[in-house]
Amino acid sequence: MRNLLHATDRDRLIAHLRSTLLREVTVGGRRFMALAEGAGADGGAFCAMPANAQAAELLAQPEIRDADPAFADGVLDFVMAMADAPLPCRRATVGGIELLRDDPRDFEILTPFHRFTGDLSAGLVRQQPRGDASAPLLHTGNLAEFRLGRYRNGVDVEDSIQDCAILRRGGSLVLRHESRITGKAGWLRPRQVEAGTLRYDYEIIAGSPVLRLTVTFTAAAGQRLSRLRISTAVDQLGTAGLEMAEGRLGSPAAWRDFAAPQAAGLSLWAEATPVPHVAIGLAGWPQGAPALHIRPQAPERVMSVKAIAARPAALHWLILRHGPATLAPGATLVVREDRLLAAGMVAEDAARMMGAVAESVSGLDLDPLPPQGVALNAVATHLLFAARRSYNVILPAERQAALENWFDRQMAALLAGAPSVADLAWAILAADTRLRAGAAAPVEALVPRLLALQGAQGAFPGDLAGHAMALLALARALAKGDPLLLAGPIGRALAAVKPGPAELREAGRMVVVEGLVLQGGTPGLLRGHAEALSLVARAAGTLALVAEQRPEALPAEVAEQARTLHRQAVALLRTLVRPRGAALEVVPSPLGGATHPAAQAAVALALMAPDTTILRLPVRA
């Protein structure tokens, strides 16, 4: 298909990336240029590697790179550095901790990851993912239990708070509340005595999404405590908009699942066994939904884990009890936990990544980053145009060698793993691009793996964006591949995409809009309306081009279906491109939302039709 994007409008789209989204970030102690997610008061907190890789493909186009090679090469350097990090993570952070209100009784704190509010005088710490309108998680509901002589005592921590403060510790902030704990004692005549002091410190760690909880109980002078048990709890889990329901306990060696409660009441998840990790999430653990991960630093000291439901299908209160301990007068018990509130992270990944906090990983979100096909494609695109001498600003030989070495390492890692549909599809594009640059690449190994994932109805598992990527990869493979192998799957994949009402969900809102729907795939366009439509347009346009170049490769009705789908997707895309001063901004969806570099780049690429240029370059032997 032809380029539908005038050079002036192309430059206005790129100007928005450069002027609004470009940031400096640190990865492994080195400074890089990268594109942030969003702009404005509550945007720009992250630079995501996959989104920057999509932008890097756009910036690799010859006229664009020649206009600003430092910009194009700088974004690509960030992409490669994120993949090469000792602990690859999906996003790097921009900014630090902002103390917006410093009153301990009504505080507000923003980090790149979360928003914290609450009242420390009531022992209440609320936590929400930044930019998420759903109900907050409540760190509260704690108890202290102990024996003084022959009397057993149980004390509500929050009812006993006497002091609270917000403290600075290096670049971190500590939210502290301290309670005076009293209890019944005496042998002949019972009396209330001071048992000790109990302090809860919630440390918001600079450059980390982990909230570190340290609980310190110090026995009063002259009092010996036995069977001391300290709880660490989260409360109000069944609030509308949060509705935590299921749990997982254990370690990478053995996990136990706990289904959503069928009735109100208490469930004992663990007792008298080490608890290295606790995870709670929404029923079914939906992709992108919040999940809380708790990692006790002394798993063997966790006496029990109890979950209390106030109604069916939702938890209310989760309690970890640590102990028992015997304290001599003036002695101290210290309990430590790391807590991670993250979107959609599975327990196995969280357990592995949270251990990295001890390794001083800073400025990364701990969302694990497997080898990315989209990054392979960005690097391959740079190498192709360098090999074909398409750049006026030459890529130095040492730079080309570094890109080639990086590509070979990452492709080998992707082949050795279990890549997603989208990663396999992007890797096929990357491999085809490397072939056209005269390098060896495993197209023949990747295509069968992708085809094996296609469902009986033609849909690839996941959402519309991933399905469109698979369709684009098959279109590129068809240009030189076997029509007998590929035409059938392509026809079924095209037929699975229909015009119709699409459900968009974002920040707790849902709206039905005119769009494209994947039959047999995940309901809704959960990865972004603009990005998904762009990938559909690019895939359908590439198929139509291949049908022109090789009429025998696709039945005429399939080629016409591709042309029709291309027109539909482009028409929907045009409504999402809007002026922003002298630049052009892509609105991620009809719901609005912060500018996203992946959507901005995907729309530009869909309209520019870069696959047309690449498919005109023959495969070199």
pLDDT in tens, 32-55: 999 998 654 444 578 999 999 999
- The kind and range of the H/E element at 92 are strand 91-93
Q: CB neighbours of 452 closer than 8 A, spacing ≥ 6? A: none
Distance, CA of 351 to CA of 277 (rounded, Å): 7
Q: pLDDT at position 34, please?
A: 96
Residue 37's closest CA among 97, 115, 110, 92? 92
* 446 φ/ψ angles, rounded to the nearest 5 degrees: -85, -40
Q: Each residue of 505-521: pLDDT tens digit?
A: 655 556 677 789 898 76
Distance CA 232, CA 529 (A): 40
Helical pair 597-608 and 7-16, crossing angle rounded to 10 deg: 170
pLDDT at residue number 524:
43
Model confidence pLDDT, tens digit, residues 233-261 = 999 998 877 889 999 999 767 899 999 99
Q: What is the token pair recorded at 499?
A: 């015009």
Give the integer Cα–Cα distance in Å for 330 and 186: 19
The pTM of the full predicted model, rounded to 2 decimals, is 0.90
- Specify the higher pLDDT residue, 10 or 2: 10
- Beta bridge mates, 290: 343
pLDDT tens digits, one per residue of 453-465: 999 999 999 889 9
Integer CA distances (angstroms), 480 to 40, 378, 435, 546, in order: 46, 21, 11, 9
Neighbours of 66 (CB within 10 A): 14
Read off the pLDDT band of 99 (50, 70, 90).
very high
Residue whose structure tokens are 């009293």: 182
Which residues have CB under 8 Å from 492's CB, separation 6+? 454, 457, 458
Give the mean pLDDT of the chain: 92
Q: Write down the pLDDT at residue 432.
A: 96
Token pair 């139509």: residue:
544
CB 43 within 8 A of CB 37: yes
CA distance 185 to 176: 28
Give strand pairing partners of 314.
311
Inter-axis angle of helices 556-574 and 597-608, nearest 10: 130
State how far Cα 287 lies from the chain centre.
10
